[in-house]
Amino acid sequence: MLVGLHVKNLALIEQADVEFGNGLNILTGETGAGKSIIIGSVALALGAKASKDMIRRGEEYAYIELIFSVDDEKKREELKRMDVCPDDDGLLIISKKITQTRSISRINDETVTTARLKAVTGKLLDIHGQHEHQSLLHKQKHLEILDEYSWRETGSLKRNVAESYRRYLELKGKLDGFSLDEESRKRELDFVRFEIDEIEDSALKPGEEEELTAKFRKISHSQKIMESLQGAYQAVDGDAIGRAYREMESVASYDERLSGIAAGLSDVESILSDICRSISDYMDEMEFSGEDFKKTEERLDLVRGIMAKYGNSEEAVLKSLEEKKKRLEELENYEELAFTAKAEFEEQKRVLGLLCGRLSKEREKAAKILENRITEELEDLNFLHVEFRVDVHRTDHFTAAGSDEVEFLISTNPGSIPPRPLGEVASGGELSRIMLAIKTVLADTDDIPTLIFDEIDTGISGRTAQKVSERLSYIGKKHQVLCITHLPQIAAMADTHFEIKKSVENGVTATKIRKLTEKDEVDELARLLGGAEITEKVRENAEEMKRLAEETKNHRAVLQTAG
């Protein structure tokens, strides 16, 4: 869950620190107080595009930090597979710093790309705003929702389909390789044979190029090497060190220190003697004929030519040789191998088709249950006359997710207008309620710990608002929920309530957020109910609304325990 939020120098916020609680967290405030900035700051930390204009006037940077507590072992394992590890207390810190020139995102102090950030945070938190509601207009989202709802029945089957599809593509690629006509096959056959003969005739050996290069360099500079060897030999082949040793040895018995000098001279004489022998041996071996030089040069040119043509190392050339031999075998047995490849592909296509068929049937069964569940939720959310349908139909092609297309259809006037795609029927406010209904149904299966609902109360009031509040509270029993609202019916259901307030101090406008006490909650409900003037009657209504909300929550808790 999201434990804390720290925001600094972002828009109207100089500094804000929020500690969120379990269950339903409600954020309220006057219009223009900065409620959207709070949710916007979370979205920025999760990877939304940041602009330097968001930095508070007069400051050099803006900073956002999200602190998550990851207690679930399964979720820890998911993150571990992504190479992300919470600390010993289960805490994971996501931060974003926005400067005038760039934005930097970090996970536990490790700088990460936006793509990696979104992949990780997508396991921890989900924001449902107007954009998310609009995603309901896309069929792909409908398939995701159905599979999420039916994952217990379809999860294993979907993995089998994905693996079978991978094999299907592999065999299709192999079959597509058998597309040569007879003339092209013969032409390639001759060319591959030529390449194989060229490599084999070169008799290339691993390490040969390096060895030849060293030998060529030695021969090319043999005269210079010989001159230097002779000069060195003359320099060390004198008897001066021997005479010095004998002089010291003759007086060594008179002083112990002289014995040390004599011993050192003896060692030097021995070393120089060894060096002389080594130089002499090397000069004896330094005999190269013009024929040796020519053969070395020609062989080196051949080896380098083969490597330039078939690989940048001897090992790469030899590997290329094996690949060409394999291709030669394919070309020589082309028709037989093509027949086998086609048979393998057709068999895999058949297997994939069977798996996709089984997956389709499971989805069709789940679709019937899902559409009934969502219909019930929509009716409770004040869709008084509604028909909701989850349409599953097969396509003529395969994907890693099977061969189905799923589409949500709805009619708010059943009997007169048949169900139609959501985009042709539902308004923005209705889409938000449909998403809420779906999230309520998925509450038991959705494993994302924290859900944020923004603009969930667009275009609703009265009984509908009450039903929406009950659904948010229900989801809050399974997940941590953050919700911005202007409706008292929703705010009354808060497990934790925050007020967002804008004020002017010393001519500077700032947005602040604070956690409300029980008394403060009633005051805020009264404000939402009564507007500018809060009478005693309005306050009594606020207290009654809060009491009824607590009774509703307690009653639901009893029913869940009994269930």
Could you report the per-residue pLDDT of 436-494, keeping only the tens digit for each? 888 888 887 777 888 888 767 777 778 888 888 988 998 898 899 999 888 999 999 99
Q: Do 23 and 115 reside in the same domain of the chain?
A: yes
Tell me what pLDDT residue 562 has: 54
Residue 95 domain-assigned (yes or no)? yes
Residue 415 domain-assigned (yes or no)? no
Q: Do 105 and 197 reside in the same domain of the chain?
A: no
Tell me what pLDDT residue 363 has: 96
Domain range for 526 is: 1-124+448-563
Contact yes or no for 401/392 (Cβ under 8 A): no
Residue 372 domain-assigned (yes or no)? no
Residue 283 domain-assigned (yes or no)? yes
Q: Do 120 and 193 reside in the same domain of the chain?
A: no
Q: Do 191 and 97 reside in the same domain of the chain?
A: no
Task: Give the integer Cα–Cα distance in Å for 107 and 82.
Answer: 12
Residue 36 domain-assigned (yes or no)? yes
Tell me what pLDDT residue 34 has: 76
Count of domains observed in the chain? 2
Tell me what pLDDT residue 563 has: 54
Low-confidence ranges of the chain (pLDDT < 70): 129-135, 238, 287-289, 414-416, 428-429, 455, 531-532, 556-563
Q: Which residues contact 116 (CB under 8 A, 6 or more apart)?
A: 107
Q: Do 109 and 196 reside in the same domain of the chain?
A: no
pLDDT tens digits, one per residue of 92-141:
999 999 999 999 999 998 999 999 998 898 889 888 765 555 667 788 88
What does DSSP say about strands 496-505 and 402-411: parallel, antiparallel, or unpaired? Answer: unpaired
Q: Phi, psi at residue 63, to the nearest 5°?
A: -140, 135
Whether the model clears a pTM of 0.85, i.e. scores above it, the answer is no
Q: Do 116 and 191 reside in the same domain of the chain?
A: no
Which value, to the nearest 10 degrees, does the dihedral of the CA atoms of residues 335, 336, 338, 341 take? Answer: 180
The domain boundary, picked from 332, 364, 399, lies at 332
The domain boundary, picked from 286, 303, 332, lies at 332
Cα 549 to Cα 417, 458, 471, 557: the distances in Å are 37, 21, 12, 12
Tell me what pLDDT residue 545 has: 92
Residue 342 domain-assigned (yes or no)? no
Residue 396 domain-assigned (yes or no)? no
Tell me what pLDDT residue 275 has: 85
Query: Phi-psi region for residue 535, left (φ > 0), alpha (ψ -120 to 50) or beta?
Result: beta
Q: Do 120 and 230 reside in the same domain of the chain?
A: no
Neighbours of 500 (CB within 10 A): 22
Chain mean position to CA 48 = 15
Q: Do 193 and 315 reside in the same domain of the chain?
A: yes
Q: Do 288 and 191 reside in the same domain of the chain?
A: yes
**CATH code at 53?**
3.40.50.300
Q: Do 110 and 191 reside in the same domain of the chain?
A: no
The domain boundary, picked from 306, 332, 358, lies at 332
Q: Do 198 and 298 reside in the same domain of the chain?
A: yes
Task: Give the integer Cα–Cα distance in Å for 268 and 444.
Answer: 87
Task: Give the integer Cα–Cα distance in Å for 136 and 202.
Answer: 65
Residue 3 domain-assigned (yes or no)? yes
Q: Do 23 and 120 reside in the same domain of the chain?
A: yes
Tell me what pLDDT residue 51 has: 87
Closest alpha carbon to 72 in 123, 4, 38: 123
